[in-house]
Copies of this chain bind each other. A is one copy, B any other.
């Protein structure tokens, strides 16, 4: 059993953006299914739940303590870790292992007052970790903080979850080119931009990754209200096997 679900599909501003009345934000205000929370993924196996990122603020309401097997962080930007600032104050004697990139600073006082969070030694890029229920390989990404993407593998199924990033480092690109990707879930925050985007992919870079890595299915995530507006007009122009993430959507 390997069930994977999009928990949040939004960028840091989320959808709706506070005080915005663009078409995408208005749609999200009228229909909750179009809301986009902080970008994160749920992996559920018979052993429990693994979260990739923890930017959703009400994780304590969504998950029983005993359900959470581990948390894996892509990086220490607030929109990916803010949910931990409540969870950490659990007083349960068991700790929750938190895997992470080699970022000495973390976010605010999270390392200093880790509470129930048991920060593990930093992942070493390209070194596969075999958990009891699946394996994971961390890949360096290109972002304004030290950031890792993850390749999740189980019984011949391969999924890459790559956010936040603008393009890919050559080493990660080469690693992925050697894989047959059943799924590629990729940061695509912005509509096509004429200037080179900073810190996040736009549609042009996402299409480049699509053609280069040739995943069986691709899914765009970390979506801004600007991209949502663009998709409302131009979504049909994307390849048939390129999907748009939605909060709560089942991947497999």
Contacts and interface: CB of A to CB of B under 8 A. Distances in A.
Contact of A90 (B19, B65, B109): B19
Given A108-B78, A109-B78, A89 B13 contact: yes
Given A79-B85, A82-B85, A108-B78, A90 B18 contact: yes
Interface string A99-110: 000000001110
Interface string A168-209: 000000000000000000000000000000000000000000
Interface residues of A, number: 28
A111 B57 CA distance: 21
Nearest to A14: B86
Contacts of A18: 60, 65, 86-87, 89-90, 92, 116
The DSSP consensus for interface residues of chain A is loop
Given A82-B82, A85-B82, A65 B19 contact: yes
A250 interface: no
Interface in A1-35: 12-14, 16-20
Nearest to A77: B109
A248 to B, nearest CB: 17
A30 B60 CA distance: 15
A241 interface: no
Interface of A: 12-14, 16-20, 57-58, 60, 64-66, 78-79, 82, 85-87, 89-92, 107-109, 116
Given A13-B91, A19-B91, 4 more contacts: A19-B65, A19-B116, A57-B57, A57-B58
